[in-house]
Amino acid sequence: MPGRLKPVAEQTIVITGASSGIGLATARRAAEAGARVVLVARNKQALDEAAEQIRLRGGKAAALAIDVAEPGAAAKIGAFCIDSFGMFDTWVNDAAVALYGRVDETSMEEHRRVFDVGYFGLAAASIYAAQQLRQHGGALINIGSVLAERAMIYQGVYSAMKHAVRGFTDALRMELEAEGAPVSVTLIKPNGIDTPYPEHARNKLGEPARIPPIAYDPELVARAILFAAENRKRELTVGGGGYLVSKMGNLAPGMTDKVMEMIGFGSQTTARPPRSGTNDNLFKPRRDGETHSNREMYVRKQSLALEAQMRPWAAAAILGGVAATLFTLAKRRRTSGEAVQDLGLAAHQTDGTDSSAQMEALIADENMVPERLP
């Protein structure tokens, strides 16, 4: 039967796609919490610098430059982790590449590359990690997207890849649960996150790309990942906007199509160009090492929806308290109105009585106010 997951401070955590964005933010946060971290990505310089920064802050980190789409990459990562810190406790699959453009203008070579990294690399790593974690338990965390629920125009190939990630992750989870394996499998579904993603993506839109609003801080995704490393969760969606997109697409798919068709281009383009050396890492690594994009936009640093998922009982208690308060206020307002009506009737029936005094006495008797009326 599945056992308890270790506290992050006692874990060794493997993170792919750790040279920028969500992966880098997670590696830093995990190291700050006391975890031993293995950073994996293609860009050796960026990885070595990130690992060195972690060590300078007192953390424990090792870096391996490798393409997760390479045959046998997962086993090589696992062996490197064991040599560096011993067996891993959590494996995070975050590596991905992306592309902005029309589906009919995307070559099959580009299609395959997006899937080789984001799906086949993730699938191979998940199967390897699950095999190892069967022995002593642990967590497998795959980074999906809200685009696994609802495809985005001009990000069709990436959306399709994330749909595949969701299907694979759900199937693997069921198989592990059916055999009673002590492996927690979590799918993290971020909304649009303010990372270098649009700078790194291959862009065929003719204008610089950006994340469509509302964008969220990558630190929120890092929090969700580390929460899943300690707590068995099926899914976590980061950003309330992601829920709205999903539900809107389910309830009114045709209308959602029309909205995306109207705003899809404008919401995903900007006048601000990528930082020098960062653009288009589809086939080769480019300049890296940043957690946030260089785009000027509003970024949410909190997500009440995420907090509610991580602490459902606390959220239920808060909602219950709010509902009880609203009910009490409504009841008092109704009672107060009935009292005023009764007082008006009594005033007409009583000669020589001060109506304001009667009202004050009546309200005091009903305990509707804590002190005398002025």
Angstrom distances, CA of residue 243 to CA of 94, 150, 319: 21, 10, 18
Residues designated catalytic: 158
Distance CA 38, CA 64 (A): 7
- HEC letters along the chain: CCCCCCCHHHCEEEEECCCCHHHHHHHHHHHHCCCEEEEEECCHHHHHHHHHHHHHCCCEEEEEECCCCCCCHHHHHHHHHHHHCCCCCEEEECCCCCEEECHHHCCHHHHHHHHHHHHHHHHHHHHHHHHHHCCCCEEEEEECCHHHCCCCCCEHHHHHHHHHHHHHHHHHHHHHHHCCCCEEEEEEEECCECCCHHHHCEECCCCCECCCCCEECHHHHHHHHHHHHHCCCCEEEECHHHHHHHHHHHHCHHHHHHHHHHHHHHHCECCCCCCCCCCCCCCCCCCCCCCCCCCCCCEECCCHHHHHHHCHHHHHHHHHHHHHHHHHHHHHHHHHHHHHHHHHHHHHHCCCCCHHHHHHHHHHHCCCCCCCCC
Tell me the two tokens of residue 171: 């199937």
Instruction: Give the residue from 154, 141, 166 showing the smallest Cα distance to 98.
Output: 154
